[in-house]
Amino acid sequence: MIQIHTYDSYEDLSKHAAQLVSDQIRMKPDSVLGLATGSSPVGLYKELIRMHQEEDLDFANVTSFNLDEYLGLNPEHAQSYRTFMNQNLFDHINIEIVRTHVPSGIAEDIAAMALSYEQAIHNAGGIDLQILGIGSDGHIAFNEPGSALDSRTRVVDLEEQTIRDNARFFESIDDVPRQAITMGVGTILEAREIILVANGEGKSAAVSDAVQGDVSTQCTASALQNHSKITFILDKAAAARLNI
């Protein structure tokens, strides 16, 4: 059953999402967090930074696992998700960098790296709280339409819509990688708690399909309907098509 919280603004939803993350860390200082990239969680991360700086939110014993990374981008690339996480969160809090995990897009053996990533999550005790965004076609992480709902960490081909959506982060659409390595839907669903943040009218159709549509591989976020502790944190524009 998906719980839905709606807010008047992106700032308000970001503060609420950050409060849930803060509550988790204060309850369990060695929490394992699953982290997302993209524009949706940026406000959440800004609020966590503020909480660390002004309210002594302590990340010293936190471990994190990111959802995905572009294939072929090294960690220092300006558009890599490792760079994104460093700039938007890790560089501004007291998390130990060795406790932060982002899939490698340049590993010599990507399949072996994917297996080791799954094992690392298992060895850490599993993810306590997973943060998600949602793609305009309803994908979570890079689990594009057609992805199996029991899928694991693997390499995926990116759909044209995803490439177009992400082109704003690159100099041109031709620079957007065509493949990525991503946690699978099955991996994500093993998190003990999940929060999904979405804002803007452009996400409203995907949110509606995820919450009110049939559970289907064509909208991988719909698999969240089967999770026992999942909260969608939305602004009113993203929630506009919901029957609530």
State how far the Cα of 144 lies from the Cα of 205, in Å rounded to an integer. Answer: 16
**Which CA distances in Å does 169 have to 38, 79, 83, 165, 189?**
9, 7, 13, 9, 28
Asked if 142 and 113 count as a contact pair (C-beta separation under 8 A), the reply is no
**Number of Cβ within a 10 Å radius of residue 208:** 18
* Six-digit token string for 5: 């919280």
* Six-digit token string for 61: 């014993």
* Six-digit token string for 82: 């490792």
Asked if 195 and 4 count as a contact pair (C-beta separation under 8 A), the reply is no
Taking the mean position of all CA atoms in its chain, how far away is CA 179?
Answer: 17
Of 203, 194, 199, 204, residue with least CA distance to 226: 194
Catalytic positions, please?
A: 68, 137, 139, 144
State how far the Cα of 118 lies from the Cα of 116, in Å rounded to an integer. Answer: 5
State how far the Cα of 165 lies from the Cα of 2, in Å rounded to an integer. Answer: 26
Q: Find the farthest-apart pair of alpha carbons in the chain and give their distance in angstroms, rounded.
A: 48
